[in-house]
Amino acid sequence: MYQVYILRSEKTGKHYIGSTEFIEDRLVRHNSGFVKSTKGGIPWVCIYNEPYESRSVACQREKEIKSYKGGIKFKRLLGLWKD
């Protein structure tokens, strides 16, 4: 089972979008400083995830969410936008 996930930095408030097969292990790596792109935002918390049966579908969804660029669709996904 693959997961598309969104992390939020408790330090900066920024978001990180990714996909992985083992979400718990991946979160540990983000919070241990092993991921260059998230090292400056430690600690990170997982605020959203979606399960997928295949890696290819998860990667497609990850790209789709990244295309939202923090806009209204992204805020709707997280429940932060009300019409």
Delimit the domains of the chain by residue range. 2-77
pLDDT one-digit tens code per residue, 26-81: 999 999 999 999 999 999 999 999 999 999 999 999 999 999 988 889 988 888 77
Q: What's 2-77's CATH class?
A: alpha beta
| Phi-psi map region of 8: left, alpha, beta (phi>0 left; psi -120 to 50 alpha) | beta
The structure's pTM equals 0.91
Residue in the structure block whose two tokens are 């789709």: 64
Residue 83 has pLDDT above 70, yes or no: no
Residue in the structure block whose two tokens are 């939202």: 68
